[in-house]
Amino acid sequence: MYDVIIIGGGPAGATAAIYTARANLSTLVLDKAPGAGALALTHKIANYPGVTGEISGKELLDTIRDQAKSFGATFETTSITAVDLEGETKTVFTAEGMYQSKAVIVATGSKGRNRMLPGEEKLLGRGVSTCATCDGAFFRGKEVAVIGDSEEAVEEAMALTKFASKIHFIVPRPDLQGVDGFPELENTVYMPKTRPMEILGDSKVSGVKLKTASGEEQLLEVDGVFVFLSGSKPGTDFLLGQVPLDEGGFMELDASMQSPVPGVFGAGEVRRTPVKQAVVAAADGAIAAMAVDKFINRRASLIPQYK
């Protein structure tokens, strides 16, 4: 049982961990792919307060995370399979096991996409998946495609090597984002500069229509498609209606980053904000953390940390 579980380890989640851990709250940060977030993939940052000169997003994020760890926060890399946010005890289910806490901060950033591939929505759950650790076992001995451009996609492909007979790793870009080359994975074909056009199938996936760099169309016959493309839609799908969201999928939060569900908070790009900057996400994380401290200790007001 933790005091707080923070879902997402970007600038909002990692900053929240600094504040909760420093307030002597036992803190667990769960992050699916630490190198796949928007900040981690930013090559140069020159406007973050207190940081002189240029620094990569990954370096800045590593510094924030190390600071949180120095105060006692624990970071785990894992996929969230489900959550139960009702009642006083919050439960987060992952590929590795179950974690519980008194409060949860959702800081998953913008991981979804506003536009799906043709056929993706229709075949979701029928061969189309966004979680290899959740669904990989259903494709034991079968041929699958992974469509992605980031560290997250690589991590998911690695998980699939335990099950699939062959993996086609499809990258619409010339190169992966935030990854130094594609690792050698068993039974995996790397396909850069290949654009997915449509996921095919009636009651289940039968293949993927592709366009190669030369403009040639290609039909790839597979039994499953795992999609990990970057986007700008808030990554709140896993909440499954347990927390109020607006029409865009953003969490409904008050000025203290609290949702209408007691003990559930949000920070960063899961809330509707006109400015998407790392410093804004970090500020959200700090506010959410102090609101968690108030909630757990049943204080009448927030107590800011000045020292």
Is residue 303 assigned to a domain?
no
The mean pLDDT value for 200-211 works out to 95
Is residue 150 assigned to a domain?
yes
Shared domain for 106 and 143, answered yes or no, is: no
Last residue of a domain, one of 195, 228, 261: 228
The answer for residues whose C-beta is within 8 angstroms of residue 252's C-beta and 6 or more apart is 243, 244, 245, 246, 259, 260
The mean pLDDT value for 136-157 works out to 90
Q: Which residue has the higher pLDDT, 152 or 236?
A: 236
Lowest mean per-residue pLDDT among 4-8, 93-97, 175-179: 175-179
Structure tokens belonging to residue 5: 């579980």
Nearest of 115, 108, 87, 88 to residue 30 by alpha carbon: 108
Identify each DSSP E strand in the chain by its residue range.
Answer: 2-7, 27-31, 74-77, 80-84, 90-94, 98-106, 110-112, 128-129, 143-148, 166-171, 188-192, 195-201, 205-211, 217-220, 224-228, 233-234, 264-266
Shared domain for 41 and 91, answered yes or no, is: yes
Is residue 199 assigned to a domain?
yes
pLDDT over 70 at 111, yes or no = no
Q: How far is it, in rounded angstroms, from Cα 50 to Cα 47? A: 9
Q: Percentage of residues in the chain with pLDDT exceeding 70?
A: 96
Q: Which residue has the higher pLDDT, 290 or 178?
A: 290
Is residue 302 assigned to a domain?
no
Shared domain for 58 and 149, answered yes or no, is: no
Query: What is the reported pLDDT for 114?
Result: 59
Query: What is the reported pLDDT for 277?
Result: 85
The mean pLDDT value for 14-41 works out to 90
Shared domain for 26 and 105, answered yes or no, is: yes
pLDDT over 90 at 235, yes or no = no
pLDDT over 60 at 88, yes or no = yes
Is residue 144 assigned to a domain?
yes
The mean pLDDT value for 278-297 works out to 96
Shared domain for 183 and 195, answered yes or no, is: yes
Shared domain for 91 and 237, answered yes or no, is: yes
Q: Domain holding 31: CATH number? A: 3.50.50.60
SS3 (DSSP) at 183: coil
Shared domain for 240 and 222, answered yes or no, is: no
Q: Is the pTM of this model over 0.75?
A: no
pLDDT over 70 at 307, yes or no = no
DSSP 67-130: HHHHTT-EEEE--EEEEE--SSSEEEEESS-EEEEEEEEE---EEE-SSPPTTTTTTBTTTEES
pLDDT over 80 at 303, yes or no = no
Q: How many domains is the chain partitioned into structurally?
A: 2
Is residue 243 assigned to a domain?
yes
pLDDT over 80 at 301, yes or no = no
Last residue of a domain, one of 197, 213, 228: 228
Residue range(s) defining the domain that contains residue 149: 128-228
Is residue 119 assigned to a domain?
no
Shared domain for 108 and 169, answered yes or no, is: no
Shared domain for 104 and 250, answered yes or no, is: yes
Instruction: Give backbone dihedrals phi and psi of 56, rounded to 5 degrees, phi first.
Output: -80, 155
* Cα 227 off chain centre by: 13
Shared domain for 162 and 255, answered yes or no, is: no
Is residue 122 assigned to a domain?
no
Shared domain for 24 and 101, answered yes or no, is: yes
pLDDT over 70 at 199, yes or no = yes
Lowest mean per-residue pLDDT among 23-32, 202-211, 227-236, 242-251: 227-236
